[in-house]
A = this chain, B = another copy of it.
Amino acid sequence: MKKQEEAIAAYEREMVKIRRMVEECLEEEFARDGVWMPPHLQETAMCYLRHLGKCLRPGLLLLGCRVAGGNWEAMVPAACAMEMFHTWTLIHDDVIDHDSLRRNQPTAHRVGYHLGQQDFALSDAAATDYGLSLAILGGDLLQARAVRKMTSLEGPAPELVLELVKEMTGSLTPALLAGEQRDIELSHLPFEKLERTDVIRMMEGKTGALLDLSLTAGVALAEGRMPLGERRLQLREFAMACGIAFQLQDDILGIYGDERKLGKPIGSDVREGKRTLLAIMALENASREERQELLALLGNPMAGEREVERVRAIMRKTGALDHVQAEADRYVSRALELLPQLFPHAAELELLVGWTLSMTRRNR
C-alpha cells in the first residue's frame, strides 16, 4: 500500500509539469486562428480548454510514450490532440444533457447564451437558440482541430501519423459516438429492462475508447509503429478496465461527492434518472418498498437534497455502493496486473501505476 501511495505522489508531481506543457501547447492553438475566426465561435470552442480538468488523456499518452522509451516531450502536440478531442465530445455532451456547469464554469452553450445576450441583445429564447448553435459549431470546430493537431507532429513518419488519423476518425470517433448514443438509448429504457452489460458496454465506448487510443498512440509514437496483435489487445484491455473504473467512480462521486470539488451539481444523476450500475444494483437488492421508493425518486426532476439523501441511504443499505466500489477496484487491479506485461523493461512504470490508481483515488 505504501508503494501505491508513492506511485500516486510521483504521478501527481509529474502531472504538474505535463499539465503546464499541455497548457503552453494549447496557448499556441488559441492564438493561431484567433485573428480571423469569429470571436464568439472561437470562445465557445475554446472555453473548456482554458480551465483544464484532470488531463488524464494527455497524461496517459505522454506517460505511455515515456515508459515505452519514447522521446515523449516531442509528443505534446499529440497529447493536446487527445485533450481537444475529449473536449469537443464534452461540448456536444453538455448540449445533449442540458448541463449548465462544468468545472465550476458555465457550459459551452451557456457561454454562447451569454455572448448572444451581451452582443446581440437577444431575448431568452433567442439566446438559448444562439448558444445551442454556437456549441454545435464550436464542438465541430474542435473535432477538426484535434485531428489537425495530431497531423502537426513533425518527428514521426507520415505513414504513422496517417495511421493515427485513421484510428481517430475510423475507430475512436465511431466507438465514442456509439457509446454516447447507447447512453441516450438506455435513458429511454425502463430500469427493469437494463442489464449490467448494457452499462459496461456504454462505458467502454464513452470513456474506454479514448483512453485506448491515448495509450496506444503514446506507445506507437515511442516505437515508430502501431502496436499489433496480442499487445494491441492488451493495451485495449488495460484502457477499457481503466475507463470502466473511472466511470464507476464518477457515478459514485455524482451521488456521494462534494459539489465544490466536483464542479457540477450533486444529485443531477438522480434527477435525470441516469442508468448507473449503482442504481441497477440498488434496485436489484432492494426490498419491495425500497424499490418502489427508488423508482419514484430516480428520474424525478424535482428531487431535492432530502430525496437525494434518501437515495444515498438506500444505495448504501442494499450494498450497491460497496459493490460498485469493489467493482471499480477490481478493474483497477486488473489494469495494474497488465502493466508489467505491457512494459516489461520500463524504468518509470510507477508513473503509469499512479495514473491507473487515480481512476478511483480521486474526489473530483
Contacts and interface: CB of A to CB of B under 8 A. Distances in A.
Contacts of A180: 137
Contacts of A161: 162
A311 B318 CA distance: 68
A185 B37 CA distance: 13
A137 B205 CA distance: 14
Contact of A148 (B144, B166, B178, B184): B166
A216 interface: no
B96 A33 contact: no
Interface of A: 33, 36-38, 40-41, 88, 92, 95-96, 116, 120, 122, 126, 130, 132-134, 136-137, 139-141, 143-145, 147-148, 151, 158-159, 161-162, 165-166, 168-170, 173-174, 177-178, 180-182, 184-185, 188-189
B181 A140 contact: no
Nearest to A182: B38
Given A145-B170, A151-B165, 18 more contacts: A38-B181, A88-B140, A95-B136, A96-B136, A116-B188, A122-B188, A126-B188, A134-B181, A136-B139, A139-B140, A140-B177, A143-B144, A144-B169, A144-B173, A147-B169, A151-B169, A158-B159, A165-B165
A321 to B, nearest CB: 30
A170 B143 contact: no
B174 A96 contact: no
A136 B133 contact: no
B120 A188 contact: yes
A107 B288 CA distance: 45
B185 A92 contact: no
7 contacts: A95-B136, A120-B188, A137-B181, A140-B143, A145-B169, A147-B147, A161-B162
Task: Point out which of A168, A174, A178, A182 has the most chain B C-beta atoms below 10 A from its C-beta.
Answer: A174
Contacts of A169: 144-145, 147-148, 151
Contacts of A96: 132-133, 136-137
B144 A174 contact: yes
Nearest to A184: B133
Given A162-B151, A174-B144, A181 B41 contact: yes
A136 B136 contact: yes
A272 to B, nearest CB: 12
B140 A178 contact: no
Contacts of A37: 174, 178
A140 B92 contact: yes
Residue among A88, A144, A162 with max Cβ neighbours from chain B (10 Å)? A144
A169 B152 CA distance: 11
A137 B179 CA distance: 11
A173 B141 contact: yes
Contacts of A177: 41, 137, 140-141
Contacts of A166: 148, 151
A319 to B, nearest CB: 31
A109 to B, nearest CB: 11
